[in-house]
Structure 1
Amino acid sequence: MATSEPTTRRTVLPGAPPFTVDDLLKFPDDGNRYELFDGSLVVSPAPTPLHQRAISRLLLLLETAAPSGLECLTTVNVRPSDSDFYIPDLVVVSEEVSDSVDLMFAPSDVLLAVEVVSPGTRVHDRATKKVAYAAAGIPLYWRVELDEGPTLYVYELDGDSYKGPATYKAGTPATLTAPYPLRFDPACLAGPRITRS
């Protein structure tokens, strides 16, 4: 009696390294997140439920606090050059700009980029993206480390690089002034949802 061999699905990507943004736009929609850093491809799987929880809660906090004319969006395309293409977990942009963008934002459109660190993105979120976002001129970068309580790291652009970070650990509210006033305890990004009676 013949047994069937397990099948492995492979994604064949068009083009060859170093990749361009035009190559990236031809990639299949296979559930992975494809980003480019100077033509080098970085592939991330779909986020975990805890990662999604943190993104959703931070989105709600940022949206609730946003002044008129600004909004927070998830997983948008940011194109600094033909060989760089980023997909931050969250961004803050002006509503006027987002109304006119079809597919990709320019880095100058982004007031804040946020990454929630997961095991598969740890190196890129801590090092590569910090350098890339600063080089692109994005004024603020927030990094959320879920396995640290969670902890929020806030980087502000100072010339061509970020200064800091300012660090806010779970249990201590972060009082922030940019991109607009906001106060929250990072613990709320990963803990049980607070219900109101």
Structure 2
Amino acid sequence: MTAESVEHCHQWPVPPKDGYTVDDLFTLPNLPSHTELIDGSLIFVSPQRNFHTDVMEVLVSGLRRDLPSAFKIKREMTVVLDNRNGPEPDIIVVRAESVIGPDQTCYRAEDVLLAVEVVSPDSESRDRTTKPQKYAAAGIPNFWRVERGGNGSEPVVHVYELDPLTRAYVHVGMQRDQLKVTKPYATDIDLGAVREL
């Protein structure tokens, strides 16, 4: 690497002594799109793959089809869990009254009824352990984790519900071809539709 090429390298932000806060997440200039805040650290995500976007499209479409008027569906929006945690679930179901306008950039954990994470190679640990633990501790009542099935092209949805006593998620089902749930509201989604995209 020459001295000239070093000069053109991107300057990464230097974290403060005690880590970043949610305020930093929303005010630091030039952060890449979809930057998350986990335990005071900024997390930059890698580009999405077709599987990820196709699954999101099928789930959002299915969730919207049966959506009660009291709820809204949002994609890739920050959820403020506390001052040091602002993850960005792939999909959330929020209370309709929490949607305040077109410039809104985040939702509070108490407004979220469902958080969905589609697991990617760079986010496996966060999506399987870190984020579900944090969502549960923040009181988000429902969580879905979507993984690739055995053939690598079809989704498997792990459905979790919050145990209010332990504030931990309980695995209530694993669904492959058809996703049929009653919480946060009744919906039936054809997961096989991912093959057609």
TM-score by length of 1: 0.84
Unaligned runs of 5+ in 1: none
Alpha-carbon separation, structure 2, partners of 1:166 and 1:43: 31
Shift of 1:37: 2.0
Moved beyond 6 Å, runs of 4+: 4-8
Match in the other structure for 2:148: 146
What per-residue deviation string (whole Å, max 9, x for no partner) do you get for residues 153-178 of structure 1? 01100021001141112x3x232101
Q: Which among 116, 127, 130 is matched to residue 128 of structure 1?
A: 130
Shift of 1:182: 0.9
Alpha-carbon separation, structure 2, partners of 1:7 and 1:147: 45
Alpha-carbon separation, structure 1, partners of 2:98 and 2:27: 25
Unaligned runs of 5+ in 2: none
Shift of 1:11: 4.4
SS in 1 for 2:81: strand
Task: Tell me if structure 2 keeps the 8 A contact 1:117–1:143.
Answer: yes
Match in the other structure for 1:90: 91
Match in the other structure for 2:168: 161
The count of residues paired between Structure 1 and Structure 2 equals 187
Match in the other structure for 1:20: 21
Task: Tell me if structure 1 keeps the 8 A contact 2:160–2:169.
Answer: yes
Shift of 1:81: 1.3
Whether 2:39 is the aligned partner of 1:38: answer: yes
Task: Tell me if structure 1 keeps the 8 A contact 2:80–2:86.
Answer: yes
Stretch deviating more after TM superposition (7-16 or 175-184): 7-16
Task: Tell me if structure 2 keeps the 8 A contact 1:70–1:93.
Answer: yes
Alpha-carbon separation, structure 2, partners of 1:6 and 1:187: 48
Match in the other structure for 2:73: 72
TM-score by length of 2: 0.84
Identity of aligned residues (%): 32
Shift of 1:6: 9.6
Match in the other structure for 1:114: 116
Shift of 1:130: 0.9
Match in the other structure for 1:10: 10
SS in 2 for 1:102: coil
Match in the other structure for 1:192: 196
Using a 3 Å threshold, how does the CA distance of structure 1 residues 103 and 6 change in structure 2: closer, same or farther?
Answer: closer
Amino acid paired to 1:35: E
RMSD, matched Cα: 2.3
Alpha-carbon separation, structure 2, partners of 1:15 and 1:42: 12
Whether 2:54 is the aligned partner of 1:50: answer: no
Task: Tell me if structure 2 keeps the 8 A contact 1:142–1:152.
Answer: yes
Amino acid paired to 2:83: D
Within-5 A mapping of 1:163-178? 163-169=170-176, 171=177, 173-178=178-183
SS in 2 for 1:47: coil
Alpha-carbon separation, structure 1, partners of 2:86 and 2:172: 24
Shift of 1:8: 6.7
